[in-house]
Structure 1
Amino acid sequence: MITCDFAILPVGTETTECKDYVTAAVQSIKDSGLSYQLTGMGTQIEAENLTELYAAIAKAQEAVFDVGVGRVYTVIKVDDRRDLENRTLDAKVDTVEKMLE
């Protein structure tokens, strides 16, 4: 399982408000069928392989352009762990939560 945290930032907008751009990007990820979690600072997704991961992010980036901005800045963090099965986003959090008990 590959997990990813990413954020797409519109550059050169007239206001500081980003909700329309975020909504477009997240809707694109939702439409991809990949499991995702929206956070206050980005979006986390899970994918079986890098091809589907990068395709989903590319479509999300295009969705932000489609809202009407001429430039975007995208930050992507990928955890491609192959030594364990099913290391989902929830599993990673659960591991730490159990250690905190």
Structure 2
Amino acid sequence: MVLAQLSISPLDVGISLHKYVKEVLKTLKQNDNIKFQVNDMSTIIEAPDIDTLFDVVKESHEAMFKAGARRVITELKIDDRRDKKVHLGDKRKEVEV
């Protein structure tokens, strides 16, 4: 499993971004091969492999343009662990107090 933190920001659309974020979330929901959680600053994605992750990120990046953005910044942080299976939320459970 691959975990990733994804943040996509349109730069030319003003200060209200919910319309654009919703388009990305629609794209993510269409993919049955991933799980994801949205937080205030980014989206955490669990994908079965790196290829699936990159496909989803590309689709999400393009969703911003389809929604009307003309300039987009995409930030991606990947945790690709291959010695054991990891799942969305595992790290959080280990540090909960």
TM norm. shorter chain > 0.5:
yes
- Structure 2 stretches of 5 or more lacking a match? none
Corresponding residue for 2:83? 83
Q: TM-score, normalised by structure 1?
A: 0.90
Corresponding residue for 2:52? 52
- Structure 1 stretches of 5 or more lacking a match? none
Rg (Cα) greater in structure: 1
Amino-acid identity (%): 31
- C-alpha RMSD of matched pairs (Å): 0.9
SS at match of 1:89: coil
Q: TM-score, normalised by structure 2?
A: 0.94
CA distance in 1 between counterparts of 2:94 and 2:84 reads 13
CA deviations 1:17-46 (Å, max 9, x no partner) are 000110001110111121000110011110
Q: Which runs of 4+ in 1 moved over 2 A?
A: none
Amino acid across the alignment from 2:43: T
